[in-house]
Structure 1
Amino acid sequence: MYDVIIIGAGVSGAAAARELSRYKLNICVLERDEDVCCGTSKANSGIVHSGYDAEPGSLMAELNVKGCEQMEVLSKELDFAYKNTGSLTVSTTEEGPQALQKLYERGVKNGVKGLRILNREEVHEMEPNLSDEVNAALYAPTAGIVCPFGLNIAMAENAFTNGVEFKFDTEVKNIRKLENGFSIETSKGTYETKYIVNAAGVYADVFHNMVSEKKLHITPRKGEYMLLDKSAGKHVNATIFALPNKFGKGVLVTQTAHGNLLVGPTATDLEDKEGVNTTAEGLGEVREKSQYTVKDIPFRKVITSFAGLRAVEDGMDFVIGEAEDAPGFIDCAGIASPGLTSSPAIGARIAEIIKEKLQPEENPDFDPVRKGIKNPAALSLEERNELIKKEPAYGNIICRCEMISEGEILDAIRRPLGAKSLDGVKRRTRAGMGRCQAGFCSPKTMEILHRELGIPMEEITKAGGESKLIEGTNKNLAEEGADHE
């Protein structure tokens, strides 16, 4: 029997796993997909929100501000990409400045530091590409941008090296109460545990409702995005928000942590918990609404589009705590925006709840530091040459768009919780995220996966499951080639 089983290896589950690994506990993370960061956590804006938007006194407001305050220190401890860029929430109407004043007052109540309201001249001097209609803005200097994959993977790797087990391709089918815990039936057998942390994103209500009569309801809210080439990345410096409405913070324009320009998201409530397709209507809305706040966005430089789902609970707040009628079942549900920002504080909150229940000893071997994949591009020419001399794979460029070497891909595969698919490599190294969107580097990356993992080429997937890239056996492929000749 485990002490704690966490359902879901997204950013909240990984944060909880890392914080719980500070203690002598037997912990396991169950994830239905082939890797960490495969759900909500992989498809979002990557914004570190300052915390002025959430309702004062809400759990969302408290954990947003705490998470924002921790992010820079955490990025150095766990070695993931983060930049403190600040954000601007802009007004384009006569009534807008009054709405900005209300947001400012809310932010002050929430404990956000450094908020200022800027007039037309100040804001246009700060961001020359703002729409001509922008007449004022709320400046939040504590906001920033983060690599969502980097944050999620870093916390999971650190949890793993501190003793947490991860079981992938393991889908939870049913949960039953036991006298002293729970039995979790999965696609790969049954597990027993004293405590469950329900960090299952848009499916958190499904698992909660298996054990509790006090039902939860989560609505998947789809957001569609357009990602532009790095040559468009300097179009804005800070993150630019429109004034928020009942569906959230609206369509934003921002740099990413790696220098692209990101525009989106939409906000469409769905019933389908797998509805991550993009639509012509949604992307048209992204294009149209973004131009209310930022002018001359070079949409000809779009290199890809994508959609993600936010888990919106009916109460419009995070649901974190023990279910009243299911002792030992800890919800971490409704983690919509600003869930990414809040994740370090969410993990700490979950750990405090379980620490109070189990009174565990501290783990004397806990190491909070994790080192990321070597980045030759960040080295001086002399240091890079020395690295290549020692490890020649770092001199073999596989992804030309992002200048990612074979050495980096090997590290991504060999490291703790290493990559097993093309998307796993992409999220860890950015190989395939550039202008050609993996058009050139996929075959070479597949060859490396084939060699390192010892699996046939036709078994290599884009993103696990049935997403295979080659149909048929090597023999059949050879015969087809001969027939064509």
Structure 2
Amino acid sequence: MYDVAIIGAGITGCSIAYELGKYNVKAVVIEKENDVSVGTTKANSAIIHGGYDPKPGTLMAKYNIQGNKYTKELCKKLDVPFKQIGALVVAFSEEEKKTLEELLERGKENGVPDLEIWDQKKLREEEPNISDEAVAALSSPNVGIVSPWEFALAMAEVSVENGVEFKLNTEVKGISKENDVFKIETNNGVIEAGYVCNAAGVYADKVNEMCNEKTFEITPNKGEYYLMDKSQGTLVNHVIFQCPNEKGKGVLVSPTVHGNLIVGPDSQPSAANDVSTTREGLDFVRTKAVKSVPGINFRESIRNFAGVRARTKMHDFQIYEDKKNKGFINVGGMESPGLSSACAVARDIVKMLGNSGLSLEEKKNIVDERHIDRFKHLSHEERAKLVEKDPAYGKIICRCETITEGEIVHALHRPIPATSIDAVKRRCNAGMGRCQGGFCGPRVQEIIARELNIPLAEVPQDRLGTNIITGETKDGGAQ
């Protein structure tokens, strides 16, 4: 019997787990996939938004402002890649300059600091590769870029060290309530809990309806992206937005924390599990992106991907305790700025649980910091000491990203161990470079099989069932 069950191990669920780990509460995170952060959390723009875009008075506005500040604090504490590079919303006409004025006023009302509108001269000085057609821009220096999957993983790992359990490969099939206890049916048996936090992302409405009346509906919305090689990573210095419209914040061009350039997304209705990319979607992204930055060399694209937003018709977060089912808390509709807001939302979820009757006794000693040895960023002296301590750190496996065998082995034995090639990538960047694992992938697969003591054929690319090796050829070799 658990005090709290959190359904979903994306950025929202991991944030709640992190905050609950600070208390003497028996909590469990239930996730249908074989790792955390494999849904929308790993496939988004990776932006910590400033807070000038949400309508004043909405939950999005409230939590975006709070989350912007708290995210920076947590990333520093938990050793998560983060850079505050600022954002520019670019106008291409006198009409769009009016939109900048509206965003400026909205941002001031929301409490966003240091907003200002740049004229064309200032814009060109700061961003020499911006289009000649750009006439002005709204500058929001508090905007940052982050590694979203590493952020979720960091909070998840620390929460595990503080006593929170994670049940992966566990899919919720139904929820009922008997004598103030929620009985959560899963493919791995029944889990009982006094409270439930529904952080199921694009499936949050379905999870809610397992136990409650329908109060919101998720309308999944897909966005497609280009990830460019590091050769394009310095093309712009800020996150470059176009003026937002009814479909969202539009196509952006932005550096990533790992030195690449990300371009996208588009916006199109989709199924909750549709992460396919299309020629039409990518062509749209490309056309829109070169309007902002004409010099993008799309021949340097190393990967295309898509993510699905958990959008609702209300266009606001759905965060509340069910009126008829005490102890069931929905955290739905966490579309953008969901990543920016998640850690701030989590603190209020803990307060809601306390107001609902959960005993919240703070732990005296908790793990609240984390450090990761990233070999490529160490000095020569630090590298030498690390290799002396563990020779595996002296063997480079991923040459594109300079990732060592020691880092990969460490990823396989962390509080939430990696069990797939992509899970290793999310933890230490092996396979994230120009060749996208073309050279190091087989070696990473061998290390996983060796360290986890499983057959090579059982190592998946990512989710369960994404097998790489399917059998043997006639001469006995793997195919």
TM-score scaled to structure 2, two decimals?
0.98
Check the 8 A contact 2:205/2:214 in 1, yes or no: no
Check the 8 A contact 2:396/2:405 in 1, yes or no: yes
Match of 1:274 in 2: 273
Identity in percent: 48
3-state SS, counterpart of residue 219 of structure 1: coil
CA distance in 1, matches of 2:329, 2:316: 16
Shift of 1:359: 2.9
Match of 2:418 in 1: 419
CA distance in 2, matches of 1:168, 1:79: 24
Match of 1:440 in 2: 439
Shift of 1:91: 0.1
Match of 1:209 in 2: 209
3-state SS, counterpart of residue 222 of structure 1: strand
CA distance in 1, matches of 2:377, 2:226: 27
Q: Deviations over 1:42-74 (max 9, x none)?
A: 100100100000010100000001010112211
Check the 8 A contact 1:50/1:68 in 2, yes or no: yes
Matched, 1:479 2:469: no
Match of 1:388 in 2: 387
CA distance in 2, matches of 1:466, 1:189: 21
3-state SS, counterpart of residue 468 of structure 1: coil
Check the 8 A contact 2:182/2:193 in 1, yes or no: yes
Q: Deviations over 1:417-446 (max 9, x none)?
A: 011100100001111111111111111101
CA distance in 2, matches of 1:40, 1:206: 17
Match of 2:289 in 1: 290
Greater mean deviation of Cα atoms: 29-38 or 359-368: 359-368
CA distance in 1, matches of 2:389, 2:155: 29
Match of 1:87 in 2: 87
Matched, 1:229 2:229: yes
3-state SS, counterpart of residue 216 of structure 1: coil
What letter is aligned with 2:19?
Answer: E
CA distance in 1, matches of 2:312, 2:211: 18
Length, aligned pairs only: 478
Match of 1:299 in 2: 298
Q: How does 1:96-115 map to 2 (within 5 A)?
A: 96-115=96-115
3-state SS, counterpart of residue 382 of structure 2: helix
CA distance in 1, matches of 2:335, 2:98: 27
CA distance in 2, matches of 1:285, 1:395: 44
Match of 1:403 in 2: 402
Match of 1:264 in 2: 264
Match of 2:165 in 1: 165
Match of 1:336 in 2: 335
Check the 8 A contact 1:181/1:328 in 2, yes or no: no
CA distance in 2, matches of 1:478, 1:73: 56
What letter is aligned with 1:228?
Answer: M
Check the 8 A contact 1:127/1:237 in 2, yes or no: yes
What letter is aligned with 1:102?
Answer: E
TM-score scaled to structure 1, two decimals?
0.97
Match of 1:20 in 2: 20
CA distance in 2, matches of 1:295, 1:328: 52
Matched, 1:118 2:118: yes
3-state SS, counterpart of residue 235 of structure 1: coil
Structure 2, unaligned runs of 5 or more:
none
Check the 8 A contact 1:196/1:328 in 2, yes or no: yes
CA distance in 2, matches of 1:213, 1:391: 56
CA distance in 2, matches of 1:98, 1:381: 52
Match of 1:250 in 2: 250
CA distance in 1, matches of 2:267, 2:464: 28
Check the 8 A contact 1:209/1:216 in 2, yes or no: no
3-state SS, counterpart of residue 220 of structure 2: strand
Greater mean deviation of Cα atoms: 321-330 or 231-240: 321-330
CA distance in 2, matches of 1:44, 1:284: 18
Match of 1:322 in 2: 321
CA distance in 2, matches of 1:313, 1:365: 40
CA distance in 2, matches of 1:135, 1:148: 32
Check the 8 A contact 1:205/1:216 in 2, yes or no: yes
CA distance in 2, matches of 1:325, 1:278: 41
3-state SS, counterpart of residue 113 of structure 1: coil
3-state SS, counterpart of residue 55 of structure 1: coil
CA distance in 2, matches of 1:389, 1:370: 22
CA distance in 1, matches of 2:21, 2:8: 16
3-state SS, counterpart of residue 197 of structure 1: strand
CA distance in 1, matches of 2:458, 2:477: 20
Match of 1:199 in 2: 199
CA distance in 1, matches of 2:420, 2:43: 17
What letter is aligned with 1:479?
Answer: D
CA distance in 2, matches of 1:432, 1:93: 42
Task: Quote the RMSD (CA, aligned, Å).
Answer: 1.3
Match of 1:428 in 2: 427
Greater mean deviation of Cα atoms: 158-167 or 380-389: 380-389
CA distance in 2, matches of 1:156, 1:132: 45
Q: Deviations over 1:170-224 (max 9, x none)?
A: 0001111222121100011111111100000000000111222243200111000
Check the 8 A contact 2:375/2:402 in 1, yes or no: no
Check the 8 A contact 1:253/1:262 in 2, yes or no: yes
CA distance in 2, matches of 1:128, 1:324: 54
Match of 1:365 in 2: 365
Greater mean deviation of Cα atoms: 84-93 or 207-216: 207-216
Shift of 1:274: 0.6
Task: Extract structure 1 runs of 4+ deviating beyond 6 A.
Answer: none
CA distance in 2, matches of 1:391, 1:478: 40
CA distance in 1, matches of 2:323, 2:477: 63
What letter is aligned with 1:340?
Answer: L
Check the 8 A contact 2:319/2:331 in 1, yes or no: yes
Greater mean deviation of Cα atoms: 363-372 or 462-471: 363-372
What letter is aligned with 2:186?
Answer: T
What letter is aligned with 1:320?
Answer: I
Match of 1:46 in 2: 46
CA distance in 1, matches of 2:240, 2:34: 34
What letter is aligned with 2:422?
Answer: D
Shift of 1:96: 1.2
Structure 1, unaligned runs of 5 or more:
none
Q: How does 1:3-18 map to 2 (within 5 A)?
A: 3-18=3-18
Q: How does 1:455-474 map to 2 (within 5 A)?
A: 455-472=454-471
CA distance in 1, matches of 2:359, 2:433: 48
